[in-house]
Amino acid sequence: MGSGFSSSQLTPTASIRRAARIAAAGVGFTFIVILVGVWTRLSDAGLGCPDWPGCYGSLVVPSADRAADFAPDIPLEPFKAWVEMFHRYIASGLGLVALTLTWMAWRMHRVEGYPVFASFMLLLVICLQGAFGAWTVTLKLWPQVVTLHLLGGFSVLGIFFWLYLRLAGCLKGQVQRRRPPVLWWLVGLVLVGQVALGGWTSSNYAGIACTGFPTCNQEWWPSYMDFDEGFHLTQEVGPNYLHGQLHAGARTAIHYTHRLGALALGVALFLLFISYRHQRKARGALLSALVVYAVQISLGIILVLFSLPLSVALLHTAGAALLLLILLNAGWRLGAIQSSMSSMIYKKVAHA
């Protein structure tokens, strides 16, 4: 065949269908890895193993005696160590999924419309995620690295999902590039910024720096906020950021900025919905984004009022990840509309 497949191999269509299924599984797998990572952080297990990639020099959690020989000053806490290692094990599985999709992309690179670049980009980002995972441990939960690690996880989730959409489009013969509108890109940028603020809030242990809602510490604009210290991105590394190093004013500034970011995201999502509510193909996704956003706000309020219950924090992260997927789906659909309109305009000009 023209694409270089022998009779003993899968046809291009069958290979694309298989790749789409693997990408869809990767979306679900990444979702789980992100939540396990959050569970690891919130259960204070991020430093359950003081080294990387092993745990006290072993590939599995060792005995207390062996751990004491490896790191006498860091006593073993078996539960936290197993939580940390479980996170590492399943995160490694994502690398195998990405390698599989990259190998398939290399085999299918002559097939028109196959997302080769996205497949290789996925592998690259997962490799970077592995590096950030190592630095999270070796730099003792440095907030900058922890936040970038969270953004990396969301990037992997987004690439897996976009790859799935591209592969599903290939199966339908939709090989034309999707170009979402500028407003969609702006909303996506606000969402990424809000996720980053969420990671910065969590990694600096500022989740309950504001008590009460809608006010913060009984003030609409807290009088004690230190934005310079709260967003000092070049702070020194170490010694250990477990439970945070910032004073109350800096944490309050971080928390309050996260609240303002949530407000900005709500406005952005509403404007996107209003602008494209008449587009039938995208209306459902845009409305779903608003619904998930409303749930996210409710979960955020519960987190503040009830001092960060673990189950609600996990749901809050899951909601952010779901919102990312819905926004990507909306972008895919809006991109199809934009591409169709551009094609129609080109044809009218060509026949003029």
Q: Which residues are catalytic?
A: 84
Dihedrals phi, psi of 323, to nearest 5 degrees: -65, -40
Contact assessment for residue 304 and residue 211, using Cβ atoms and an 8 Å cutoff: yes
Q: How far apart are CA 158 and CA 23, in angstroms?
A: 11
Nearest to 81 by CA among 35, 36, 118, 47: 47
Cis omega (within 30 of 0) on the bond before 309? no
Q: How far apart are CA 125 and CA 246, in angstroms?
A: 30
> CA dist 245 to 44, 143, 305, Å?
15, 10, 23
Contact assessment for residue 283 and residue 276, using Cβ atoms and an 8 Å cutoff: yes
Nearest to 334 by CA among 186, 183, 194: 183
